A and B are shown apart, each in its own frame.
Chain A
């Protein structure tokens, strides 16, 4: 799952949202890294709707502007949870390797012979 898709689904995890709400939420969740264009967002939502991960959740007109709401489906919730779990496992493995590396570096530094300065 690509990062923008992940953040679109994550944005909908706490309830239905309209297009602009999703764009703002994805930006906040990604610390500003994912700034979705409107065209990209609606292409992603159309694809996710076709795959059954997202569903439309009503249209409203606010201040003369149409707003379409989207919500996560059960399949989308499962898919997002699986992706979050996969990312968490990847992160845990990477952290474990980094911990091992740091430990090895510490041992190597402790056992290395002291350098003798030569003139």
Chain B
């Protein structure tokens, strides 16, 4: 009977990471059997099994937390915050600019009155303003307020998208924009922003880079601001443009992957992880646009696997030394 009980406990422990089990399984099973002897239990209680499963699952996250050090999480958070800010600033600008264009389009095309949200195209402005306030808050040294606002952007994104569509607004935040901002919010929540000069520099730098990137990506939308009487430009908004954006994002992902590999070669482990994790929303964006791109999938999987393996080895205290010798 004891053998059967032991086997059931060992099966329950399979919820723990293998590494944890190698180190602790025998001791834990010994304790479980001691407790069962004392209470006279012949089968594991449901509460014991539930406790083991929950702690087993939690142990996976503990291991993940050990790999993702505060240095990595804080930098990823800074980059995500800056990028989310840049995207929101751009989107907020278009909320106003497109509302004007929408009126003109409606009158030119005879579609009647456009449905807008006051001077804005849609309720998306609520999401973008929340992001802008969150970014500003990061400079005030109130991390709890920043986290609260970042969490608030997640339901705000869903409300902005769904309600704008339900109210029949002619334009609303695209699913891509909403998902990107949600991914940036989650990445920004990974770290604990610290109001130091260095932290501000990283936020500012990442915001500038993101603004430059998004400006480049959306360069075609400049045409929208001055459509004149040409209504065919209408609707070329954000990531709706099919042509050049896919290539630009793929190039951006490739550049990010290159930087991550370079960081690995230079043994800048932290930065390799930071760059790779920061690129995840862009990888996801590209793959959602072109899920059949086998070459991209393969390249992305290889880069992610190499970086993840290197970081995991590093977390376990192992390292790969690369030395260059002159022949």
Interface residues of B in 17-54 (CB under 8 A from A): 24, 26-35, 38, 47-48, 51-52, 54
Interface residues of A in 44-71 (CB under 8 A from B): 46, 59, 65-68
- Interface assignment of A34: CB less than 8 Å from any CB of chain B: no
Q: Which of B26, B52, B54, B59 contacts A38 (CB 8 A)?
A: B52
Binding site for B on A (CB under 8 A): 18-20, 23-24, 37-43, 46, 59, 65-68
Q: Contacts A38-B48, A38-B52, A39-B51: A20 and B59 contacting too (C-beta < 8 A)?
A: no
A-B CB pair tally, cutoff 8 Å: 62
Beta-carbon contact of A19 and B51 below 8 Å: no
Beta-carbon contact of B58 and A59 below 8 Å: no
**What are 14 contact pairs spanning A and B, CB under 8 A?**
A18-B27, A19-B27, A20-B31, A20-B38, A23-B31, A42-B24, A42-B28, A43-B55, A46-B59, A65-B30, A66-B26, A66-B30, A67-B30, A68-B30
Binding site for A on B (CB under 8 A): 24, 26-35, 38, 47-48, 51-52, 54-56, 58-59, 62
Beta-carbon contact of A68 and B32 below 8 Å: no
Q: CA separation between A43 and B29, bound complex, in Å?
A: 14
Q: Is chain B's binding surface mostly helix, strand, loop or mixed?
A: helix
Residue of A nearest to B34 (CB): A20
> Which 10 residue pairs are nearest across A and B when measured between Cβ atoms?
A19-B31, A68-B27, A20-B34, A66-B26, A39-B55, A39-B51, A65-B30, A37-B51, A66-B30, A39-B52
Q: CA separation between A86 and B30, bound complex, in Å?
A: 35
Q: Contacts A19-B34, A65-B33: A38 and B27 contacting too (C-beta < 8 A)?
A: no
Beta-carbon contact of A20 and B27 below 8 Å: no
Q: CA separation between A42 and B50, bound complex, in Å?
A: 15
Beta-carbon contact of A38 and B58 below 8 Å: no
Q: CA separation between A38 and B25, bound complex, in Å?
A: 12
Beta-carbon contact of A40 and B28 below 8 Å: no
